Amino acid sequence: MHTHYSPDSEMSPERLVARCLQVGLNCIAVTDHNTTEGAFVVREIAPFMVIIGEEVGTEEGEVTGLFLQETIPRGLTPVETAQRIREQGGLVSLPHPFDRFRSEVITCRGIEDVLPYADIVEVFNSRNNMDADNRKAHEFAREHGLLTSGVSDSHTPIELGRTYVTMPEFDGTPAGFKEALAQGTIHGRKMTPLIHAATTFTKIKKRLLGRR
């Protein structure tokens, strides 16, 4: 999920936390675009577990890092990005890897390069317009023996809680998370494709106003 530290979201950390409590989320991963700053702010105020993450723009599209200690710069190769995630003790996830409509999606070449480092594949993303794209991600994860996750990819409060994973409590470590996720169940509900128009408008507005 994202906060206003991402260029395409206006959701404050305070609003995010309040909505999570309202819908019953008790462990979240904040993965703003190309920064961990918002994730650290959320962790400071949330009364539940917050995983520090980042959706990193690489030369070949986006790669997500989880359990990070600091921001990873954008514009590296997928392999360099994955290596930096691993150097921080983090996990490498492939976000919406086969979404045919998003320009930032990782390329086939990028997937091939980063595959040896990958831990998790998003096999259900609420913002994917085509069910076939989610199914393709699930088949890819099964073929390569990777863990699977479902995400809301929330940029607005209304999206929070639409997709989530029920899984056992874990010790807060990446290894514990992987063990719990392997036993998880994905509960997914799609968003209307119009949600992309909302985030595109936000991105344009923030750019015009000179805001991040």
pLDDT of res. 129: 83
CATH architecture of 13-206: Alpha-Beta Barrel (3.20)
Q: Which amino acid is at 47?
A: P
pLDDT of res. 211: 63
pLDDT of res. 24: 97
Q: 95-120: per-residue pLDDT in tens?
A: 999 998 888 899 999 999 999 999 99
Q: How far is CA 60 from CA 97, 103, 153, in A?
A: 11, 10, 20
C-alpha to C-alpha distance for 124 and 200, rounded to whole angstroms: 21
Q: Which amino acid is at 26?
A: N
pLDDT of res. 170: 97
C-alpha to C-alpha distance for 145 and 97, rounded to whole angstroms: 16
Along the 212 residues of the chain, how does pLDDT read in single tens digits?
999 999 999 999 999 999 999 999 999 999 999 999 999 999 999 999 999 999 999 999 999 999 999 999 999 999 999 999 999 999 999 999 999 888 889 999 999 999 999 999 999 999 888 899 999 999 999 999 999 999 999 999 999 999 999 999 999 999 999 999 999 999 999 888 778 787 888 888 888 887 65
Tell me the three state secondary structure of residue 134.
helix
pLDDT of res. 142: 97
Could you state, in order of their start, the residue ranges of all structural domains in the chain? 13-206
pLDDT of res. 208: 85
Instruction: Say if strands 61-66 and 49-58 run parallel, antiparallel, or are unpaired.
Output: antiparallel
pTM for the full predicted model: 0.93
